[in-house]
Amino acid sequence: MEPTKPAGRHAVPLIQDGIDRPYLLQVPPTAGTAESRLPLVLELHGRGIGAETFDRMTGFGALAGEEGFVLALPSAVGEIWNDGREAAPKGRRPDDVGYLTAVIDDATARLPIDPGRIYVVGMSNGATMAGRLACELAERIAAVAQVAGTAAAAVAATCHPARPVPILNIHGSADDYAPYEGGVRHSLRGRVVLRHAAGPSIGVDDWARFWIAANGALEGPVLSALPPDITIRTWHGPTPSADVAFYRVEGAGHTWPGSRFTLPALLFGRTSRTFDATRVSWDFLARHSR
């Protein structure tokens, strides 16, 4: 199949559930010459930040060109994903699982996408949306990477993935917006910056235990560290589909480690420079196929 879009980033029209919901599709230079089908990564922005601004923060767009994967940048209605915590105002809770499924279908129809290498990465509200997709769209997703988010407690309580989903989670221990122990944001700055209250999220350790069981991971945890602030726990099983990897970033806030843009520490907490969350996320995702 020849790509219907040339290399570069394109605005793609999409109507989903009667709503005009375009998205951005970045095509790598290798798309027209690749002998095999290409991976697709859905990059889910955080709450209150646009898709392109978030991509500049992570650098996934630049990495996609280097590594030769297709990048889709969907946009939430009002920049708030319906991740199961009911953070959006009433009357504005769209079917985002349906929308992101439509993005996958549309990108696959336009480009030679490998259906076994469809990945999701997100931060904050985008991370909890990725957690919801892992639960509800496991038959389409090969692996998930989350930064500063787990899943809505209500979603986790009813989560029955159709198949194992390898999952990477990167989380700051001092995150005021998505507390490491779960629940709702608990600081003054968290309440001031995000004015609409969101429901509780599952804690990081409980989320790890869920996926260890759901994926059938048998080995681990294997402990490793990246001094001075990173502790890594990994679990494995009989196949790579069982992989679970959780990074604890000691003392870090609601931030993207290694980001080229430093968020104000007064509002979001410390950003770790020990590693690049973008590279770590892609390296994890790329090791897995469905």
> d(Cα 234, Cα 180) in Å, to the nearest integer?
18
Q: What is the pTM of this model?
A: 0.93
Residue 189: what residue type? R
pLDDT per residue over 202-226, tens digit each? 999 999 999 999 999 988 899 999 9
pLDDT per residue over 235-262, tens digit each? 999 999 999 999 999 999 999 999 988 7
Give Cα separations from 175 to 129, 148, 163, 218, 253 (angstroms): 18, 7, 30, 30, 4
- Asked whether the beta carbons of 148 and 256 are under 8 A apart, the reply is yes
73 has pLDDT over 80:
yes
Residue 91 confidence (pLDDT): 57
User: 3-state class of 152 per DSSP?
Assistant: strand
- Which one, of 36, 44, 45, lies nearest residue 68 by Cα? 36
Residue 187 confidence (pLDDT): 54
> d(Cα 218, Cα 212) in Å, to the nearest integer?
8
User: If you ran DSSP here, which 8-state letter would residue 180 be given?
Assistant: T
Residue 261 confidence (pLDDT): 84
What is the average pLDDT value for the chain, to the nearest integer?
Answer: 91
> d(Cα 160, Cα 111) in Å, to the nearest integer?
31
Instruction: Give the containing element (helix H, strand E) for 247.
Output: strand 244-249
Q: Phi-psi bin for 78: left (phi > 0), alpha (psi -120 to 50), beta?
A: left
For 38-44, what is the mean pLDDT?
Answer: 98
Residue 1 confidence (pLDDT): 37
| Helical spans, DSSP H, in the chain | 51-58, 60-67, 96-110, 125-136, 153-157, 188-193, 204-215, 265-268, 277-286
Residue 6 confidence (pLDDT): 84
Structure tokens at 266: 């007064």
> What is the Cβ-side half-sphere exposure of residue 7, based on CA atoms within 13 angstroms?
13
pLDDT confidence band for 2 (50 / 70 / 90): very low
16 has pLDDT over 60:
yes
Residue 70 confidence (pLDDT): 97
The number of beta carbons lying within 10 Å of the beta carbon of residue 282 is: 22
User: 3-state class of 64 per DSSP?
Assistant: helix
Rounded to the nearest angstrom, the gap between the alpha carbon of residue 193 and the centroid of all alpha carbons in its chain is 21
> What is the Cβ-side half-sphere exposure of residue 220, based on CA atoms within 13 angstroms?
24
- Asked whether the beta carbons of 82 and 44 are under 8 A apart, the reply is no
> d(Cα 204, Cα 155) in Å, to the nearest integer?
14
Cβ within 8 Å of residue 188, ≥6 positions away: none
pLDDT per residue over 172-205, tens digit each? 999 999 999 999 865 554 544 454 556 899 999 9
User: Which stretch of 11-20, 73-82, 90-99 has the lowest confidence by average pLDDT?
Assistant: 90-99
The number of beta carbons lying within 10 Å of the beta carbon of residue 209 is: 14
67 has pLDDT over 50:
yes
For 62-76, what is the mean pLDDT?
Answer: 97
Task: Give the chain's domains with CATH numbers.
Answer: 8-286 (3.40.50.1820)
